[in-house]
Amino acid sequence: MKTLKRIALVAHDNRKKDLLEWVTFNKMKLRKHLITCTGTTGKLVEDELNRNVNGHPLDVHRLLSGPLGGDQQLGALIAEGKIDIVIFFWDPMAAQPHDVDVKALLRLTVLYNVVTAMNRTTADFVITSPIFHEEYDIKVKDYSEYLNRKI
């Protein structure tokens, strides 16, 4: 993981306000990194990151909405090694039409040892960690035995 982090920000509808408050509080730190978001969260985050900031506007890479394939798009980016950190404010009190996609996404974050925060406290710990601003060597399990197994 390089000093410039590739951060995915995701929020279910009932948690978008919470994520935006967190983004507002951490705006200057986040603007130094590459941001990817699913669905409407991307537009909200981009607007917030560029609000009242002098300098060039920050472009947020926006994927599809989660239920329309955005979770799978993000999962593919994780599998390709293109995401370093996932901040996912999910709603544990509401059933989601794409729960299986969310579970698959979270499985990939574990499989590829991606830093994952699913609530504000954990996100705060991640973004304030001294190693957040440094290069970090992620240890990913070697799956070559699995890939090369006899079928």
CA distance 119 to 92: 11
* Alpha-carbon distances of 149 from 107, 110, 140, 144, 145, rounded to whole Å: 22, 22, 19, 8, 6
Question: Positive or negative CA dihedral for 2, 25, 128, 88?
Answer: negative
Is residue 71 flagged as an active site residue?
yes
Give the total residue count for the chain.
151
From the list 13, 18, 47, 71, the catalytic residue is: 71
b/e map of 140-149 (b: 16 or more CB within 10 Å)? eeeeeeeeee
> Does residue 11 contact residue 87 with C-beta atoms inside 8 Å?
no
Q: So which residues are the catalytic ones?
A: 71
